[in-house]
Amino acid sequence: MRLSARHLAPLVLLLLWILTPPPAAAEFNVEDVRTRDESDMLIMDAEIRYGFSEDALDALDNGVPLTVEVHVQLRGVDDWIWDESLVDQRLRYVIRYKPLSERYMVSRLPSDGGISYVTRDAAIAALGKIDGLQLVSKERMNEAGGPFEIQVKASLDIDELPLPLKPEAYLFPSWKLSSGWTKWPLDH
């Protein structure tokens, strides 16, 4: 069977597409989680480094909002996966570029109005800071026993991307950004 040039060109392009490695996926890292007691509540502070891929940064710079989700659980140290968490919270944040003002906006969802930043790096750094998150009362922790640990996972929510970007986001690893679960002992 002979292939004409008309049929060969798409096959060559398909082969090149398959063999060309996608851009390296960046990483999200939960770098630090601290807890403290305040007014009989367990309070959490965290630092997350959002290493967005070039594809995600390019989309952001072109006006596509990026939504990240931080999943926080307070669990017993020896709990099985099916055991209920004492705390199970999902925090959602969005970072977007506002071309008219040439600023980046970081907001917690549902929208809190957000804070504006002059540079993308400053906005991404601010996105990674969680300060004063109330987790649970000390009374409820004492009733549940212990010891406990905090588990945190940060990920890009590709379901929130605009429809034209979703197929690419599902197919290419440069969009599948997640820290994976990290475990942190309580500080007290």
Q: What is the pLDDT of residues 79-129, one digit of tens each?
A: 778 888 889 999 999 999 999 999 999 999 987 788 999 999 999 999 999
The b/e string for 58-86 (b: 16+ C-beta within 10 A; e otherwise) is: ebbeeebebbbbbbbbbbbeeeeeeeeeb
Q: Who has greater pLDDT, 168 or 81? A: 168
Query: What is the per-residue pLDDT for 11?
Result: 56
Give the confidence band of 2 by pLDDT, cuts at 50, 70, 90: low
Query: What is the per-residue pLDDT for 35?
Result: 94
pLDDT in tens, 12-71: 545 445 554 444 446 999 999 999 999 899 999 999 999 999 999 999 999 999 999 999
Alpha-helix runs per DSSP H in the chain:
5-19, 54-61, 120-127, 138-144, 166-171
Query: What is the per-residue pLDDT for 9?
Result: 58
Please check the confidence at residue 178 and state whether its pLDDT lies above 90. yes
Nearest to 101 by CA among 125, 126, 119, 121: 119
Query: What is the per-residue pLDDT for 111?
Result: 74
Which tokens sit at 155?
């990920």
Contact assessment for residue 15 and residue 167, using Cβ atoms and an 8 Å cutoff: no
Q: Who has greater pLDDT, 155 or 13? A: 155
Across the chain, mean pLDDT equals 87
Domains of the chain by residue range: 23-175+179-183
